[in-house]
Amino acid sequence: MRRRTFLSRIVLFVLLSIAFVFSITAVASAATTIYVDDSNRKGVEDGTQQHPYTTIGGALDVASFGDTVFVYKGTYREEVSLVHGVSLQGENVKNTRIWGNIEGPGVGNLSVKNFSIIGDVLLEYPPEQYPREPVEIARNNIRGNIDVFLTQANIRGNDIRGGISVSISGAGNTTFITNNKIHHGFGIFCSTDSDVEIVGNEIYRSRIGIRTQRSGVTVDDAYTIPIRNNNIHHNADYGLNLTASDYETTFVVIGNRIWANGKGGISLRDIIAESNVSKAYVINNLILNNSGPGVSLFEDSALEASIINNTLIGNSGGIARLQPTYPNWYPRPLTVDIVNCILWRNGADLVGVQATYSNIESGDAGEGNISVNPRLDNNYCPRPGSPVFDNGNNAVVQTPLVDHVGQVIAGGITTDFYGNPRIVDGNGDGQAIVDMGACEFMP
């Protein structure tokens, strides 16, 4: 018994010693803040608040995983090479300026926040390096482009006078582009072999709003690309120019305001050369005053397009099925369902397509269609007594949205453009029927 007790004490002592060593190591390697101030003239630089480094590069040279480099206001004319696991924090987004490019080859688990950056932000991983860990780019003013290549990023809350490019991120490496202002550049470009979500951005006065196209690199993955709640306007080309190629893609275009773009609202095309078919859901969008069709669909597309509960007003055309660019090249025809939409004051509401349960100024013989002034308010919502409420097709709204591989994206359409519930009994007859258009009448 005594021997067992003695052995137990030895084991306990060893375990406590190991725990103590680990605790000492953890304290020694605890994350620290390293300071940078270009106004330091003391002649001593050790990264403390009293003796900060005068360059960001100097601080990054001594930083370790988990550290933060805090940069006081000033102008830093240098090329910055990010370090894996080391974040950059500016004191003030207006007065903390980096005049040069920021590069992050093979880095992750870090953030870059609160800077004015006059240069490009370049993030990439070597193709053989997995897993790819995220980089957060947030609350910066950037006069340049952000390029995300073979990696993932969270790009949020920035003012970007330039554009964002996302290429070949690969499955599971999602790049989130949220709540940015993007202007006076090329907009957002994504290769369709990238896992990306584009939500809540304002994209304006750019060459194009959002463009997707193949990267030139064929991969086996196929993707669902959500594009939701963006304000896309006054761009030279289309608001959305969405092309799938080489592999299947599902575009989910929901709740966007797409207006006053130079070539049209939305262009949809799939140029898969084999038997695969991509999908597009265009739901609850306000598509307004574009110089071109509100929605263009190309005849050479192996695409299934569902255009549901949109409001198209004042465009040079409504919804148009256009002639193929490459006749007889692709084997599968374009299929289009247009339901519960409002098309009014467009040059030609429907070209080469038919609609159902929609309000179409020029008229259409499809089931449930009407042609009556929709009586919308300044927010494009139905006024009391409007003919469009309680006049749509419930079955379409209640049908689950399913992507190109059969996975359910959503159980149905449960809200309108403004986030109000649908379906609602708008006319008080005790029977709830969905309204036509992007907005549901709230009695």
Residue 431 CB neighbour total at 10 angstroms: 10
**Per-residue pLDDT averaged across 403-409, rounded?**
85
Residue 13 has pLDDT above 60, yes or no: no
pLDDT 10s digits, 17-28: 444 333 333 333
pLDDT at 206: 96
Structure tokens at 275: 């038997």
Structure tokens at 39: 């106004």
Structure tokens at 390: 């309680």
Task: Please give the model's pTM, rounded to 2 decimal places.
Answer: 0.90
- The 8-class DSSP code of residue 53 comes to B
Which of the two residues, 392 and 134, has the higher pLDDT score?
Answer: 392
Cα–Cα distance, 244 to 196 (Å, whole number): 14
Which of the two residues, 124 and 343, has the higher pLDDT score?
Answer: 343
pLDDT at 300: 67
Q: Picking from 32-41, 113-122, 317-326, 346-355, which range would have the lowest pLDDT averaged per residue?
A: 317-326
Structure tokens at 279: 């999908």
pLDDT at 229: 98
pLDDT at 404: 79
Residue 403 has pLDDT above 90, yes or no: no
SS3 190: strand
Residue 302 has pLDDT above 90, yes or no: no
* Confidence band, pLDDT 50/70/90 cuts, at residue 105: confident
Which of the two residues, 74 and 302, has the higher pLDDT score?
Answer: 74
* Confidence band, pLDDT 50/70/90 cuts, at residue 225: confident
pLDDT at 212: 84
Q: What is the mean pLDDT of the chain?
A: 87
Cα–Cα distance, 355 to 300 (Å, whole number): 20
pLDDT 10s digits, 185-202: 999 998 756 678 999 999
Cα–Cα distance, 5 to 199 (Å, whole number): 64
Residue 213 has pLDDT above 50, yes or no: yes
Residue 388 CB neighbour total at 10 angstroms: 29
